[in-house]
Amino acid sequence: MGQPVAVTIKHSFEPGRVRFELNRSLTGQAHENYETAPERAETFGAVLAQRLFATGLVRTVHIYSSVVTVDVVPGGGAETLASVIVDLYQFWKPGMVPVVPTA
* pLDDT the model gives residue 9: 94
Read off the pTM: 0.84
Rounded Cα distance, 78 and 96, in Å: 26
* pLDDT the model gives residue 87: 86
Block mean pLDDT (10 aa), the chain, length 103: 82 91 90 93 91 95 96 88 88 74 74
* pLDDT the model gives residue 5: 86
Beta carbons of 24 and 44 less than 8 angstroms apart: no
Q: Which CATH architecture has domain 7-86?
A: 2-Layer Sandwich (3.30)
* pLDDT the model gives residue 67: 96
The domain locations on the chain are 7-86
